[in-house]
C-alpha cells in the first residue's frame, strides 16, 4: 500500500492496543521498562531470561519476518544481563544475546538485523560448553550500529561512533569515528567542529513531539473513510 487507508481513530486504537500489549505481556518479563517506551508490533518481540532493562522513551520495532530477540543465558555459575538506555532505537531483526553483560548507552541506534553478543556460545575445544568464552560488551552513548552489523564479545564502542552495514566488530572502536568492514576498522573521524543531535535531544519534550506526530497523522488521514479502508483491503486498485 502507498498510504495508510485507516480512519484516524483506528490508528489511535491500534497504538493504544500495542501499548496495552507491551505493558501486559512484555513488562512482566523485564527487570524495568522506562516511561514512554514504545513498541511497534510488540507481539513479534521475544524475551528469554533476564535481567533485561529497557530505558525511557526507547523505540523497539519488530515485524513478522524480523523479530526482535532479547536473550540472557544463565549457567550454574551465574548469568548475564542486558541494559538498554534511554531514547534508543531498536529496529526489526535486532538480536541481543548475553551470557555476561551487554550495556547499551542512551540514544544508541541499532539498525535492522544488527547482532550484539558477548559470548562464543560454545567452547572452541569443548563444544559441549553452553556459553564458551564471554566478555562484556559496552556500546557508548549515541553510537549507531549499521544494518546487519555484528558486535562480538569484549568490545567497547565509543560514543557517537558509527559502525557500517555488515561490519564485524571484534576489537574496541574509539569515540567519534566511522568503522566498516570485517574486521571493522576505522576509516574516518567525525568532524569535532560540528555538533551532533542525538535522539535524546530530538525527544527532549516527548509530549510535544507526540502531539506533533498526532497532528501529522490527523492531517494525512483526514479524508480516510471506513468504506475506503475496507475497499483497500478487499479490492485494492492502482494508487492504493
Enter the C-alpha cell of residue 64. 513478522
CATH 2.160.10.10 range(s) for the chain read: 32-195
pLDDT of 23: 97
pLDDT of 214: 93
Distance of alpha carbon 186 from alpha carbon 161, whole angstroms: 10
10-residue mean pLDDT series, the chain (240 residues) = 88 96 97 96 96 97 98 77 98 97 98 97 84 92 98 98 98 98 98 96 93 93 92 87
pLDDT of 77: 66
Show which residues are catalytic: 122
Question: Cβ(173)–Cβ(151) under 8 Å?
Answer: no
pLDDT of 2: 79
pLDDT of 76: 52
Q: Are strands 168-169 and 45-48 parallel, antiparallel or unpaired?
A: unpaired
CB atoms within 10 A of CB 39: 24
pLDDT of 211: 93
pLDDT of 161: 98
What sign results for the dihedral spanned by CA atoms 42, 46, 51, 55? negative
Instruction: Indicate the pTM of the whole model.
Output: 0.93
CATH topology of domain 32-195: UDP N-Acetylglucosamine Acyltransferase; domain 1 (2.160.10)
Question: Cβ(46)–Cβ(62) under 8 Å?
Answer: no
Which of 149, 154, 179 has its CA nearest to residue 167?
149
Amino acid at each position: 500500500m502507498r498510504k495508510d487507508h485507516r480512519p484516524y481513530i483506528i490508528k489511535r486504537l491500534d497504538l493504544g492496543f500495542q501499548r496495552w500489549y507491551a505493558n501486559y505481556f512484555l513488562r512482566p518479563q523485564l527487570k524495568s521498562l522506562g516511561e514512554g517506551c514504545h513498541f511497534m508490533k510488540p507481539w513479534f518481540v521475544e524475551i528469554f531470561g533476564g535481567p533485561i532493562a529497557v530505558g525511557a522513551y526507547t523505540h523497539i520495532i519488530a515485524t513478522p519476518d524480523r523479530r526482535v530477540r532479547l536473550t540472557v543465558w544463565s549457567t550454574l555459575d551465574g548469568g548475564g544481563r542486558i541494559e538498554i538506555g534511554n531514547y534508543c532505537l531498536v529496529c526489526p531483526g535486532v538480536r541481543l544475546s548475553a551470557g555476561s553483560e551487554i550495556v547499551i548507552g542512551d540514544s544508541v541506534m541499532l539498525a535492522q538485523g544488527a547482532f550484539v553478543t558477548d559470548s562464543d556460545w560454545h567452547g572452541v575445544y569443548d563444544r559441549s560448553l553452553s556459553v564458551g568464552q564471554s566478555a562484556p560488551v559496552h556500546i557508548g552513548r549515541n553510537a549507531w550500529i549499521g544494518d546487519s552489523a555484528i558486535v562480538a564479545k569484549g568490545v567497547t564502542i565509543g560514543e557517537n561512533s558509527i559502525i557500517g552495514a555488515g561490519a564485524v566488530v571484534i576489537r574496541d572502536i574509539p569515540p567519534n569515528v566511522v568503522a566498516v568492514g570485517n574486521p571493522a576498522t576505522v576509516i574516518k573521524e567525525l568532524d569535532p567542529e560540528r555538533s551532533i543531535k542525538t535522539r535524546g535531544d530530538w525527544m527532549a519534550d516527548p509530549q510535544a513531539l507526540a502531539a506533533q506526530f498526532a497532528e501529522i497523522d490527523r492531517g494525512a488521514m483526514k479524508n480516510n473513510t471506513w468504506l475506503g479502508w475496507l475497499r483497500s483491503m478487499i479490492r485494492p486498485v492502482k494508487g492504493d
